[in-house]
Structure 1
Amino acid sequence: MTLIRATHFGPAFAPGQPRQIVVHSVESEIVSGLARSLANGWFRNPANKTSAHTISDPHETIDMVQDTQRAWHCGNGNNTSLGNEHVGRARFTRVQWTTPAGLAMLRNGAQRTARQCIDHKIRPRWLSLAQLARNEDGLCTHNDMRLVRGGTTHTDPGPGFPYDLYLQMVKEAMGLGTSTVQEDDMPFTEAQLRAIVSDETEKTVRKLLTSEKLVAYSDQRLRPAKDLSLSITGALGRSSAYDSNASGGVDQIARAQGLEPEDRK
């Protein structure tokens, strides 16, 4: 970890803080070496009354304010949040954020964010505005702080920022993996699934067509009682929607049972 201390920052956080990590963009191109240059220049210039906890570019992440102290990065949100700057612009599209250089920068930033999540027991999740208003723990943007807390006019990192990808990188760096969904240990091909559905359809229809209730119901001259309100489609769970040939198979089975298809309309 490289620390290049910013000139301006506040006192230590109050007990129980910080609760949020604010993702910023510094409004620059995505260039290696810029994090160190800005840390040594802009953030150390006394005239620029601003600071952030970290700044990341494709090459490295520089720490500028210790996590135990408040930085001057998001107006009225400073008292409850850490602020992490990322080289890039709020007007960038997702494509511009996810160039090879952009991905390297995002991963550097996400790794530092992950460390902060672990150290301060902040859950890796994007907060809604309502959650931020309740001072819940998680990630948010500079724009979120503008809308909820005020005291700032900035809207970064913008709608094109790859929020899903960044969060995935944070979770990976925390050792949480990329997915909590367990993969199927016996996947079937489409052909195999069609064969299974076809076989089960035939078994079910044969059973139904030998049922007195269904035969009675299939004769339109008989008005079915409520307890006979049964249809092939309903009994099969509409499996014919999966297999376009299912209706033809049902007709063949019906004929084998002595019923013409029109008897089942």
Structure 2
Amino acid sequence: MPVHQSIYDGPPRNYGGNKTVKKWIVIHNTSNDAPAVNEASYAKRRTDSVSSHYYVDDDRIIQSLNTDYRAFHVGSSTGNSGGISYEVTGTNGKSRAWWLSNVRWDLLSAQVRKDCAAHGITPRLLSVQDIKDGKTGIMTHDQARRAWGGTDHTDPGPNFPLDHLLALVKGGETEDDMALSDKVDYTAWYREKYGKASGTVEDTLAGLIAYGRNASDNSARLVKLQEAVLAKVAGADTKAILDAVNKRAAEDAARDAALLAELRGLANGGATADQIVDKLAERLGAGE
């Protein structure tokens, strides 16, 4: 659907009211660090005939315009008519690391995926020649400039991680994803993911324990599963195998409950957050 009510805050002051066929996702940056809500609000009153379908920052995504309609965002009639515009908060000089840490990639990629599906856009990165040839896909404002002219803008800049965006849109694993069998720096992971988390400490720790268990125990559990399967094939008693599996599951539950109780005791005893996290990392890293 062209309007997503849960994120919609529009329309902007300037846009084309006739519906047009969309062929491209066009990535821009806002040339500032203002939050998306400010950009969407400004779009309702700006007088320079500029608009966008979406605004994205490090916290949220806002839809400013029905994607069936034409936003004024690339300086050419072809691009404005056929492009769905995403303005991401930031400037051309930002580093790749900055972009990776300051965009709600999950929301951005999910919305791009929805728009590709709704408008028949192929989720792929385009070259300037691809754009000139009329191929459908994902491009930048700078590529639109080089393909059609009408603007001197070169956003979103050379370090914007389009490859990262595409991988997320297509559902692939990126450099920031983590296989369950990978080793985890639990202390760093906790501070990164839960440093600003809401909710109770107990819920946060319980979630982290579950994540850590999955990561550190996955390989060992696969081995045990293989052993059980092989034993069954060799004619082992099925009931014995099921009993062993149930016993291991009960042991895991008891172990996690004991760890949570230990951490709760540390907290009640006046331990600092860093001390609690370090203890958690020690216990999980030791595979207990």
Give runs of aligned pairs for residues 112-191 of structure 1, distance below 5 A.
112-172=111-171, 177-178=172-173
Partner of 1:78: 80
Matching residue's letter, 1:166: L
Residue 28 in 1 paired to residue 32 in 2? yes
Q: Aligned partners of 1:107 and 1:142: how far apart in 2? A: 22
Matching residue's letter, 2:57: D
Cα deviation, 1:223-255, whole Å, max 9, x if unaligned, reads xxxxxxxxxxxxxxxxxxxxxxxxxxxxxxxxx
Q: Aligned partners of 2:27 and 2:61: how far apart in 1? A: 14
Matching residue's letter, 1:12: N
Cα deviation, 1:85-121, whole Å, max 9, x if unaligned, reads 111111111122122xx2x423322221111011111
Contact 1:107 1:166 in 2 (8 A): no
* SS of equivalent to 2:17: strand
Cα deviation, 1:166-220, whole Å, max 9, x if unaligned, reads 1111112xxxx439xxxxxxxxxxxxxxxxxxxxxxxxxxxxxxxxxxxxxxxxx
Which structure has the larger Rg over C-alpha atoms? 1
Partner of 2:39: 38
Give unpaired runs (5+ residues) of structure 2. 1-5, 175-288
Number of residue pairs aligned between Structure 1 and Structure 2: 166
TM-score (norm 2): 0.55
Q: Which of the two has greater helix per residue?
A: 2
Q: Aligned partners of 1:151 and 1:11: how far apart in 2? A: 21
Q: Which of the two has greater strand per residue?
A: 1
Report how far residue 74 of structure 1 moved: 0.6
* SS of equivalent to 2:40: helix
Cα deviation, 1:53-94, whole Å, max 9, x if unaligned, reads 001112211111101100011111101111111111111111
Report how far residue 13 of structure 1 moved: 3.3
Matching residue's letter, 2:26: V
Q: Aligned partners of 2:67 and 2:122: how far apart in 1? A: 16
Percent identical residues = 28
Report how far residue 11 of structure 1 moved: 2.7
Give unpaired runs (5+ residues) of structure 1. 180-265
Q: Aligned partners of 2:28 and 2:83: how far apart in 1? A: 12
TM-score (norm 1): 0.60
Q: Aligned-residue CA RMSD in angstroms?
A: 1.6
